[in-house]
Amino acid sequence: MSQQGYVAAPPYSQSQPGIGGFSAGFGPPNASLHYGHYGDPNSSYSAPQPAVSKSSVPFGSSAPVGPPPPGTHQFSQTNFQNGPSTPGQQPHRFQGPPPPSNTGPSYPPYSHQSQPAYPNTASTSSTTQLANQLNSMQINSYGPGITPSTRMSSGHPASFQGPQLPLPTQQQVALPPGSQLPPPANNVNGLCAQPSLPPMARQDGIPGPVPPNPNLQQLSGQPPGPGYHPQQASYGPQMAGSQLSYPGAFPGGLAQLPGPQQKKLDPDSIPSPIQVIENDKASRGGQIYATNTRGQVPPLVTTDCVIQDQGHASPRYIRCTTYCFPSSSDMAKQARIPLAAVIQPFAIVPPNETPLYVVNHGETGPIRCNRCKAYMCPFMQFIEGGRRYQCGFCNCINDVPPFFFQHLDHIGRRVDHYERPELSLGSYEYVATLDYCRNNKPPKPPAYIFMIDVSYRNINSGLVKLICDELKTLLDKLPREEQEESSAIRVGFVTYNKVLHFFNVKSSLAQPQMMVVSDVGEVFVPLLDGFLVNFQESRSVVINLLDQIPEMFADTNESETIFAPVIQAGMEALKAAECAGKLFLFHSSLPTAEAPGKLRNRDDKKLLNTDKEKMLFQPQANSYEALARDCVANGCCVNLFLFPNQYVDVASMGLVTMYTGGTLYKYNNFQLNADSPQFLSDLRKDIEKKTGFDAIMRVRTSTGFRATDFFGAIYMNNTTDVEMAAVDCDKAVTVEFKHDDKLNEDSGALIQCAVLYTSISGQRRLRIHNIGLNCSSQLADVYKTCETDALINFFAKSAFKAILSQPLKMVREILVNQTAHMLACYRKNCASPSAISQLILPDAMKVLPVYMNCLLKSCVLVGRPEIPTDERAYHRQLVMSMGVADTQLFLYPQLLPIHSLDLKSDTIPAAVRCSEERLSEGGAFLLANGLSMFLWLGVSTPPELIQGLFNVPSFAHISTEATSLPDLDNPFSKKLKSILEHIQSQKPYTMKLIIVKQREQPEVLFRQFLVEDKSIYGGASYVDFLCCVHKEICQLLS
C-alpha cells in the first residue's frame, strides 16, 4: 500500500525544487476567484470548500469596506503593488495607503469585528438547518451559514489504497477540489475562509490517504457521498487545533473509494518547522562549517556546529535572506524576495571558535581603497607583481603602500596570504588611528552611571535595597579586556525622585557626599572630580554609599518622578568627563512631575483598529527624540529597567533606549520574592556584556547594488551612517539592499560592514565583516538559497517600523500579499507545471507561511483591547534589535516533552510542534520563546515525575505560585534544571518560569504560545493561513 501525499524525497534538508505529488486541487483552474473586501455585502466570492476547525472561542473583527478588486490578473509586477507607484517601478514595501482600485486583495488578518467578516451567499434552507445543529453541538464557532458539506471530524487519518505516484521533484501541498461554495459566514480572523487541506502522507513514507480524484465534481448543496460520516462530538473548552475536516465527500458525491472512512487532516502532512530544524541538525549538526565558498548557505541558526572563517564572515555575524542575489532589478521586482542582511557585529563566538584577530598597522592605520574607502579584505585582487591592487567593491586600481608590499605566487596570490587576517579571513579588527577618534584625541575608557528611582513605591517594595545590595558584588565583575587585571570602566551614582541627587565617592573621602540638583528644567552636573571613579580605588566609599541609600530615603513619601532630566544629567556627566558610557536607569512609574519630558496617561483603547492606532507607538513629546539625538552624539547609551504596575508609556520612555543601542527590561507588578531572580540575572548579564561604545557602522557594497534601509536599535543622521551610542553582543542591524544596476554573475555581490567603536579599555578600533554572495539570472537559484529565518527577521522589523506611519491593517495586508507574491513567482517561474490548484512551496521557504502567520499573530500587530499597549510597544522595541536566532525562537517557541527525558544521555529531547494536539494529559512540556518560559503539566502527569520535580505527592499539591523549581537531589530534577540553564544561557533575556496546570486559569496565557493553533485574539491557525495564502496565489496566477 503506498500512497503519496505530501511527499519529499528524503532527506528534507537537501534543497529540492519543490514538495510532493498532489493532483487534485481547488475548483476548476479557470475559475476566476473574486475577492471582495471583507464586509462588503456585494462581493461575489467563488471559493474552495470551507472547513470547520474546532474552536471554543468566538472570534470577530470588523472589516474594511471597499470595492472588490478585479478577479483575474496576470501575475506581473505592475499589477500587484503595495500602494501607489508607477508601473515598472518597484513599489516601496510599506508605503502610503493603496488606491481604492488596489489590485492586491485586501486582507485584514486581525481586526476587531462587529459584523461577520464574510458575506454568506448561500440560500438553501438546509444550510441554515445544519448550521443550527452544528451550533447547538458546540462544534464550531463560525456563526450560522455553514454549508452542508462542511464537516467536523476527529480521529486518526485513514488510509486509502490508491495508485502509486512517482516521487516528486517539487514540494506540493494540494488543496482539495471544491465546487463553488460560499465561505463560512463568520471567519476566524478576517484573513480568509478556511478551505481545508486534504490529509497527506507524511514525508517519512508512512502510508497516508491519496488525494481525491479531480475528475469528479460535486454540486453545491448536494449531500456528501459515502465514506465521510459526520462525527458528531461535542468539544469542551479546547482551543482550535490544526484539525480541519475533509470537505464533504469527493466531488460528485457518488463515487466511492475503497478503504475505511476518511477522518481529519493529518497535521504532519503540512510543512513542519520542527522537521526542518531536526533535519538540518541531523545533516549539519556538530560538523565544521568552513566559510571558504562565495554564496554558500550556512546551517540554520538552530543547528550547533563549529564555524571556521576561511574568507567570508561567520553566519554568527552576518546572515542573508538569500545567498544568491537576482542579477537585475527587474528580476528582484518579479520575485519580491527582500534582499537583506542581518548583521550582528559583536555576536558571541563560542570558546571552540577562534576570536577575532587584531591587525595593527601603527601610525599609517588601515589600508583602504582610495575611491570607495573600503578596507583591505580578501576581495581585493593584487596585480602587477603585487605592486598594485584592484578594489573588489569599486574596481579602482590602488598602489600598495611600500610597507605592505609582498610578492605574488604562481596563482597571483600574495605569499603572505595566510599570515595576514585581512587577506584571508572574513572578519578581523584594525586598531584605529587618531584620525578615527573624536576631536582627534584618544578616547578615555567608558563609564557606567547607575541612576536609581528612590520614590515611595521603590523604597517600599524593597527594590532600592535589592539594587544597592546587588551592586556591591556586581561592581567587581565589570567587563575588562582579557589581558587586563581589572576593569578600566569608571562608575558613578545618582538617585532621583522629583529632584536629582549626585554623589561624590572620591577615594580620599571618609563618607560619600550628596549634592542635590532641584532645577530639573536646566540640569547641570554639580561636581566633576569624585563623581566618576574607579571602583577598586573607591571601594570603601562606594560600599558605604550603597549601604546608606536605602536608609537615606526610608521615610520618603515622594511618589512623583522625573525621567528625561535624569537621562540629560547622565549624558551631561559623560560629556563633561569626555567619555562614552552607559546609564543604568531603574524606574517604576509614569513621569508626571513638572519637568521636561513630563508624560500623561494617553492609553486610549478607542484608537485600536483606527488610522490613529499608530500614535500609540510614537512618543508623546518631541523632546524625547531630541534627547535621544543628543545622547547618540555624546556616546551615551541608556539601559532602562522598568518596574511598572500600570501604564508607563513605553513608546515614549523606551525611545531613548532604542535610539542609543540600549536594552529595555520590563518587570510588570514586580514582587521582591517572585521577580528578583529574573531582574538580578538580567542586571548581571547586562553589566558583564562585551560592548562597543560610541560606535558608527557603514555598509559598503560592490557595484550594482547598495544598502537602502536600516532597521535596529540605531540612530541615523544621514542615509549611510548607522550610529549607536553602544552596541552589544545581542544587537543586530538588518540592512536592506536595492539594485542600482545589473549585477555581474562572475564577480557576485560583495558586502563589507565596518564598525568603528571604542573598546571597554578605551581603545579605538574597527571591526570588519566581509561576505560574498552569488548572483544569477535564474530565479530558481535565488529561491534555492533563501534562508527563512533571516527573511522573517527582515519582515518582522520592516513591519514593526512601518506601524509607526501606517495603519496596522495595511501592514498586515502587505505581509500576506508579499508572502503570496514570493510563492506565486516561484510557482510561475521555477516549479514544474501542475494544476493551478496545487500549493507548491520552494524547499528553502516551505515553512515561511507558518512563521509569517506567527508574525501576523504577534501582539504588536494585533489590535485587541485585552493586550496592554505597553506590552505591544515593549515587544516592538525588543524585536527591532533582535538577531536571527532570537526572532526565530520568539515567533516559533520551543516546546519540549520533558516527560520523555532520557536521563542516561546528555541530549535534550526533540522539540514538538507548537500545537495543542501535541500536548498529552499524561505529559509535562516545557515551552520557551526567549522572553517567557512555561512548564505545562497534564492532569495525568505520573506521580513519580511530580515527586521528582516538585517534591510533592500529586498533581493537586503542585503550587503554581513558584517561579523556579526546588533544588532536589534526583537525576530527573538535575536534568531538567540543566536543560533550563542551557536554554537560558543562549538568550539575552532571563525567562521567568511560569508553572501551568492543565485546565486551570493560567493555561489561557500558555495557549497563546501554541502558535500553530487559532489564537484567542483572532489569529488564524497555520492550516487556515496556508489555505489563505494558497488562495492568494491562485488569484495571482489566474
Q: How confident is the model at residue 450 (pLDDT cuts 50, 70, 90)?
A: very high
Instruction: State the Cα angle at 885 between 431 and 977, rounded to 5°.
Output: 110
Residue 4 is predicted with a pLDDT of 29
- List the beta bridge partners of residue 430: 359, 766
At 908 the pLDDT is: 85
Number of helices (H) and strands (E), helices first, in the chain?
22, 31
Mean pLDDT of all residues belonging to the chain? 80
Q: What confidence tens digit (pLDDT) does each residue in 129-181 have?
A: 433 433 433 333 333 333 333 333 333 333 333 333 333 335 655 554 332 22
Q: Each residue of 794-808: pLDDT tens digit? A: 999 999 999 999 999
Answer whether 487's CB lies under 8 Å from 444's CB: no
Instruction: Kindly report whether the global pTM for this prediction surpasses the value 0.85.
Output: no
pLDDT digits (tens, 9 = 90+) for 582-626: 999 999 999 999 999 999 999 999 999 999 999 999 999 889 999
Which residues have C-beta within 8 Å of that of residue 33, sequence separation ≥ 6? 27, 45, 46, 47, 71, 72, 1031, 1034, 1035, 1038
Q: Parallel, antiparallel, or unpaired: how do β-strands 581-587 and 636-642 relate? A: parallel
Farthest-apart Cα atoms in the chain, separation: 97
Phi, psi of 299 (to 5 degrees): -60, 160
Contacts of 289 (CB under 8 A, 6+ apart): 298, 299, 305, 306, 307, 308, 315
Instruction: Tell me how far apart the alpha carbons of residues 22 and 214 are, in angstroms, rounded to a whole number.
Output: 10
Q: How many CB atoms lie within 10 A of CB 441?
A: 9
SS3 701: strand
Q: Which residues is 639 bridged to in the sheet? A: 584
664 pLDDT band (50/70/90 cuts)? very high
Q: What is the pLDDT of residues 451-506, one digit of tens each?
A: 999 999 999 999 999 999 999 999 999 999 888 889 999 999 999 999 999 999 99
Alpha-carbon distances of 112 from 64, 285, 614, 615, 1018, rounded to whole Å: 11, 44, 16, 18, 8
- In which band, very low, low, confident or very high, does the pLDDT at 116 lie, cut at 50, 70 and 90? very low
Q: Cell for 658?
A: 532604542
pLDDT bin (cut points 50, 70, 90) of residue 549 is very high
Query: pLDDT value at position 236?
Result: 34
Instruction: Please give the C-alpha separations between residue 533 and each of 364, 488, 491, 572, 1030, in angstroms, as whole numbers.
Output: 34, 10, 5, 16, 63
| Start-to-end CA span in the chain (Å) | 36
pLDDT, tens digit (0-9, with 9 covering 90-100), for 172-207 = 555 543 322 233 333 333 344 333 444 333 333 333
pLDDT of residue 879: 98
**How many CB atoms within 10 Å of residue 687?**
21
Task: Give the pLDDT band (50/70/90) at residue 60.
Answer: very low
Tell me if 930 sits within 8 A of 878, measured CB to CB: no
DSSP 589: S
Cβ neighbours of residue 123 closer than 8 Å, sequence gap 6 or more: none
Share of the chain above pLDDT 70, in %: 74
pLDDT of residue 838: 87
User: Residue 853: which of 885, 826, 819 has the closest Cα?
Assistant: 819
Q: What percent of the chain has pLDDT over 90?
A: 69
In this structure, what C-alpha cell is assigned to residue 101?
482600485
Phi/psi for 1026 (5° steps) reads: -60, -40
The answer to whether 321 touches 786, Cβ cutoff 8 Å, is yes
pLDDT at 621: 85
- Read off the pLDDT of each residue in 317-336 and give the average, rounded to a whole number: 97
What pLDDT is recorded for position 1002? 86
pLDDT band of 124, cuts 50, 70, 90: very low
- Provide CB contacts within 8 A for 539, sequence distance 6+: none
With a CB cutoff of 8 Å and minimum separation 6, the contacts of 802 are 93, 94, 811, 814
Degrees (nearest 5) of the Cα angle 652, 658, 661? 155
- Residues 781 and 772: their CA atoms lie apart, in Å, by 15
- Supply the pLDDT for residue 786: 98
| 869 pLDDT more than 70 | yes
Q: What is the pLDDT of residues 625-654, one digit of tens each?
A: 999 999 999 999 999 999 999 999 999 999
| pLDDT tens readout for residues 63-93 | 344 444 433 333 333 333 333 333 344 444 5
Over its C-alpha atoms, the chain yields an Rg (Å, rounded) of: 30
Predicted confidence (pLDDT) at residue 26 exceeds the cutoff of 60: no
- Which carries the bigger pLDDT value, residue 155 or residue 757? 757
Distances (CA, A) of 714 to 446, 685, 884: 19, 21, 17
Least confident of 238-252, 564-578, 666-680, 899-913: 238-252
- Report how far Cα 55 is from the mean position of its chain's Cα atoms: 27
Reported confidence tier of residue 1038, pLDDT bands at 50, 70, 90: confident
Helix, strand or coil for residue 48? coil
